[in-house]
A and B are shown apart, each in its own frame.
Chain A
Amino acid sequence: MKRFSILLLAASALFAAEAPVLIQNATILTVTKGTVKGSILLQDGKIAAIGEKVMAPAGAKIVDGTGKFIMPGIIDCHSHIATEAVNEGSASVTAMVGIEDTINPDDIGIYRALAGGVTAANVLHGSANAIGGKNQVIKMRWGQNAEGLKFAGAMPGIKFALGENPKRAGSSQGGFGAPATNLRYPATRMGVEDVIREAFNDAKTYKAKWDDYNAKVKAGQVAIPPARDLKLDTLVEVLEGKRLVHAHCYRQDEILMLLHVADDFGFKIQTFQHVLEGYKVAKEIAAHGSGASTFSDWWAYKMEAEDAIPYNAAILVKKGVLTSLNSDDAELMRHLDKEAAKTLKYGGLTETEALSLITINPAKQLKIDDKVGSLEVGKDADLVVFDAHPLSNFSKVEKVFIDGKMYFDRDNDIEERAKKEITKKGLLEKQQQELRRQTPAGRPAQ
């Protein structure tokens, strides 16, 4: 009897988990381990096997992958979807705020990104201020709640911003200028540097205060603890290397400036974001050990984004900079594979190098490459099934898996649309009826 119940328990545990999925006869673009023509097995949320022939375990769902291309889930290193706030632009240093508090799992942008093959994204604070808020790495687990979207184990980070945006609120001139009653320091690039330096000076003083207090307590002295400051706590984490810095920038001068500041304070810039003039200072970026996350060919939307070239990503790669392509935008996010394809034309990157820009490289930049970013046994089963090569303009996403679970299925989506239309029509009719009941006779209901 006891054994029987244990069996039952085991069985129910099995059913609770996702059934294994075996996709056969597909072209598997692993990114890190070459291309495999064969099968891939997803089990218990992980990639269990990749090979020409993979045995299907009992209960596995078999998917025919003939003619299909499978690549790792796309990772977007710069996004602002799935959050109910982007900028806390009221102060030049807002390291106390964080996207982790405002994740919005209802944002349809999540589903649309998923339909474009994106499985993870770095949701960043905006660029309104020199030191912005904390970021949150998420997986596109559409349908789960805010906590369910969070990428467990992703290293925390913070947004910095250089150049025009953080100084805009300091000047009342120009289209986005601040009202004269609410000018916020700084108004120049010099000021942006000063704000960052001052913030880290404050953080060091703060840390010293705590060290002093802890020493007193250790020595058995009576002492009142310093006030905890959520803003400075975050900056101390940066100084201690426990938090990654993602810095919005465009021009080579501001990039070099931030490298100097970081060197002076002894921390590292994990990624330069946008970094359209990165090609001018690629060697310096590489020497610091920073990554670069840029656009394929999007520029000239403002003065500081003028001196850009489509070869930026390729040059950065060839100079040894860990480089990724990001979207910064809910629409662009849906075709990052096509963005990556442009680097084949501009700069002559290989297919694998191009795919790396949206998979393993952003994974490394976010320090989640032990879990995602390539198709390897033991990694999370986050992958995309395309009907043709993902770098082709004519390919479409058919299925997207995250943790071995299918979160997007093109056929299913098309089927569901009709059903949803019916539901919607029913609700609209019900609403109309209600309005008619409330509207006095003779007057048309709106």
Chain B
Amino acid sequence: MKLDTILKQGRRILPLLTVLGLVSAAPAYSADGLGAYALKDAKIVRVSGAPIEKGVVVVRDGLIEAVGENVTIPADAWVIDCKGLTVYPGMIDAFSTLGIASAASSGSAAAAGGRRGGAAATPAAAAAAAAAAAEPVARGPEDRPSNESYAKAIDSVSATDSRIESFRNGGFLSAATFPAGKIFNGNGSLINLAGEKPGNMVIADSIGQSIVIVARGFGMSRGYPNSLMGYIAYVRQMYLDAERYKQAQAIYAKNPTGLQRPAYDRTLEGLLASPRMLLPAVRATEIERMVTFAKELKQPVVIYGAHEAYKEADFLKKANVPVIVSLKWPTKTPDGDPTAVEALRTLELRDKAPSSPAALAKAGVKFAFYADGLATPKEVLAAVKKSVDSGLSPADAIRALTLTPAEIYGVSDRLGSIDKGKIANLVIAEGDIFAPATKLKYVFVDGTKFEVPEAPAAGRGFGRGASGPGANDFQGDKQ
């Protein structure tokens, strides 16, 4: 018997065994993830086109083989009756640390590490801070402080990060994941949230340089940069250096004899390998500042945060800059001073932030969402629902969770909608995905079927709280 025949038979038996409870391991991925499935009589929200009220999706060998109302079900396909169920494309967290278990405290402490505030929150961070204290303090951009621009998220991804499973069970089947904890954090990678090895999870390995720029800052603390001014000047100098580096390398390559050779610089290599920059901007002023800055640097940019984007929708449209909206809507701090008098501006931002997506949709700005540290997919979808309640159409909401992030990162030719030939990332829900009571039945990642456990244990694997990849202990009050 040929090997692939054995595999094929095994694959057919596997779901059966699962049903019988003979295979009890929760992530029931058949090793190869290949095989044919037919989702029959499903409502199909394709996102790329009008929903199909009753149709078939055929999945084979990790890809979507066919989709439509009148699709012949292949004889070898495992048929799943989806009567009353709705099929969505897998959702994408457009800016996360998913898969990077220790993103916030990972990496060697750069010279400018050991920042004040939350830096010593973990033993690892405390050790890093101590190590940094022993190192010389950065006094300028030439010291390349807090710079791992050459890092690549995928190199730090662990397939066993427990958040991968919890997000997958909630319908998030891909994530743009970024290294964190530095100023220049390196290139993010777009990954699928299932796979035995990180290498199998990658959809795109370098999707953009995540640069953390503090919202505000005053300071006399350790090392350059320690203020917003310094951050901006540092980033500006880096891109200037990168431009000159490229030029110098080119001149030298043509005339190696008789010219002094230019020095190698991995931090500049990292920038040059980045297709775009991701910059944080929550308030309107920050949005304008970061977009203007990116234009000055002549770099394609994606803005993340964007709670006050409702004021900047037209500006963003005109600048043609995509936005990733943080779903951690600003709220009153639960343990804040109950007698504190809050500014009208703070209250307004809190009230209007969830209307930002609707404003962006109306202006025609490309936008996606990110969980920004929300611990469970349920919370994430509840937060999306809040923007739906504030005027965003459900169709635009689902697009912002699927096709738009794929477009932002240049992978919409393989991901983000239910179309023939695309990666078979599918969510099968018992109804409207935004209705709080809706349960998910199955998800498919790369054509591999996962049963969603009846009641995903709350709090499982959400060890890391508040920090998204943009989080930084300098960030402070973003409002």
> Which residues of A does B touch, CB under 8 Å?
84-92, 94, 96-99, 101-102, 104-106, 125-126, 128, 133, 145-147, 169, 176, 178-179, 181-182, 184, 222-225, 227-231, 420, 423-424, 427-428, 430-431, 435, 446
20 examples of A-B residue contacts, CB within 8 angstroms: A84-B215, A84-B228, A85-B216, A85-B218, A87-B227, A89-B219, A90-B137, A91-B224, A96-B140, A98-B229, A98-B233, A106-B283, A179-B222, A184-B139, A224-B252, A225-B244, A225-B248, A230-B240, A431-B350, A446-B338
Q: In angstroms, how far is the closest chain B Cβ from the Cβ of A152?
A: 16
For chain B, residues 361 to 402, give those with C-beta under 8 angstroms from any C-beta of chain A: none
Q: In angstroms, how far is the closest chain B Cβ from the Cβ of A121?
A: 17
Q: Are A102 and B347 in contact (CB under 8 A)?
A: no
Q: In angstroms, how far is the closest chain A Cβ from the Cβ of B60?
A: 45
Q: Are B351 and A430 in contact (CB under 8 A)?
A: yes
In the complex, what residue of chain B is closest to A435 when comparing beta carbons? B332
| Stretch of B44-52, B255-263, B462-470 on the interface side | B255-263
Q: Are A88 and B224 in contact (CB under 8 A)?
A: yes
Q: In angstroms, how far is the closest chain A Cβ from the Cβ of B305?
A: 15
Q: Are A105 and B224 in contact (CB under 8 A)?
A: no
Q: Are A146 and B285 in contact (CB under 8 A)?
A: yes
Q: Is B455 engaged at the interface, CB distance under 8 Å to the other chain?
A: no
Bound CA span A225–B245, Å: 10
For A224, give its contact among B217, B232, B251, B292 (CB under 8 Å).
B251
Q: Are B347 and A97 in contact (CB under 8 A)?
A: no
Q: Are A85 and B229 in contact (CB under 8 A)?
A: yes
Q: Are B347 and A231 in contact (CB under 8 A)?
A: no
Q: Is B106 engaged at the interface, CB distance under 8 Å to the other chain?
A: no
Bound CA span A428–B341, Å: 10
Q: Are B219 and A106 in contact (CB under 8 A)?
A: no
Q: Hey, which chain A residues are within 8 Å of B215, CB to CB?
A: 84
* Given A96-B141, A446-B338, A101:B228 Cβ within 8 A: yes
Q: Hey, which chain A residues are within 8 Å of B350, CB to CB?
A: 427, 431
Q: In angstroms, how far is the closest chain A Cβ from the Cβ of B209?
A: 19
Q: Are B348 and A101 in contact (CB under 8 A)?
A: no
Q: Are A222 and B334 in contact (CB under 8 A)?
A: no
Q: Are B233 and A101 in contact (CB under 8 A)?
A: yes
For A431, give its contact among B137, B285, B293, B347 (CB under 8 Å).
B347
Q: Are A181 and B133 in contact (CB under 8 A)?
A: yes
Q: Are A224 and B236 in contact (CB under 8 A)?
A: no
Q: Are B351 and A88 in contact (CB under 8 A)?
A: no
Bound CA span A176–B220, Å: 9
For B226, give its contact among A89, A222, A229, A427 (CB under 8 Å).
A89
Q: Is B223 engaged at the interface, CB distance under 8 Å to the other chain?
A: yes
Q: Hey, which chain A residues are within 8 Å of B284, CB to CB?
A: 145
Q: Hey, which chain B residues are within 8 Å of A88, CB to CB?
A: 224-227, 229-230, 233
Bound CA span A145–B289, Å: 10
Q: Are A106 and B345 in contact (CB under 8 A)?
A: yes
Q: Hey, which chain B residues are within 8 Å of A102, CB to CB?
A: 227-229, 232, 289
Q: In angstroms, how far is the closest chain A Cβ from the Cβ of B225?
A: 6
Bound CA span A229–B421, Å: 50
Bound CA span A224–B246, Å: 11
Q: Is B320 engaged at the interface, CB distance under 8 Å to the other chain?
A: no
For chain B, residues 102 to 142, give those with C-beta under 8 angstroms from any C-beta of chain A: 133, 137-141
Q: Hey, which chain B residues are within 8 Å of A86, CB to CB?
A: 218, 227
Q: Is B458 engaged at the interface, CB distance under 8 Å to the other chain?
A: no
Q: Are B285 and A101 in contact (CB under 8 A)?
A: no
Q: Hey, which chain B residues are within 8 Å of A224, CB to CB?
A: 247-248, 251-252, 259-260, 262
Q: Is B205 engaged at the interface, CB distance under 8 Å to the other chain?
A: no
Q: Is B237 engaged at the interface, CB distance under 8 Å to the other chain?
A: yes
In the complex, what residue of chain A is closest to B308 when comparing beta carbons? A106
Bound CA span A446–B219, Å: 34
Q: What would 7 more interface pairs be, CB under 8 Å, given A87-B218, A222-B259, A223-B251?
A: A85-B229, A94-B230, A145-B288, A224-B259, A227-B244, A431-B351, A446-B332
Bound CA span A167–B199, Å: 53
Q: What are the 7 closest A-B residue pairs judged by CB atoms, nearest first?
A: A97-B229, A90-B224, A85-B227, A85-B228, A88-B230, A427-B347, A89-B220
Q: Hey, which chain A residues are within 8 Å of B230, CB to CB?
A: 85, 88, 90, 94, 97
In the complex, what residue of chain A is closest to B283 when comparing beta carbons? A106
In the complex, what residue of chain B is closest to A107 when comparing beta carbons? B285
In the complex, what residue of chain A is closest to B260 when comparing beta carbons? A224
Bound CA span A223–B244, Å: 13
Q: Hey, which chain B residues are within 8 Å of A229, CB to CB?
A: 237
Q: Hey, which chain B residues are within 8 Å of A133, CB to CB?
A: 229, 233
Residue picked from B225, B229, B244, most chain A C-beta under 10 Å: B229
Bound CA span A125–B220, Å: 13
Q: Is B314 engaged at the interface, CB distance under 8 Å to the other chain?
A: no
Q: In angstroms, how far is the closest chain A Cβ from the Cβ of B301?
A: 16
Q: Is B241 engaged at the interface, CB distance under 8 Å to the other chain?
A: yes
For B227, give its contact among A92, A97, A223 (CB under 8 Å).
A97
Q: Are B229 and A99 in contact (CB under 8 A)?
A: yes
Q: Is B457 engaged at the interface, CB distance under 8 Å to the other chain?
A: no
In the complex, what residue of chain A is closest to B134 when comparing beta carbons? A181
* Given A84-B217, A230-B240, A427-B351, A90:B138 Cβ within 8 A: yes
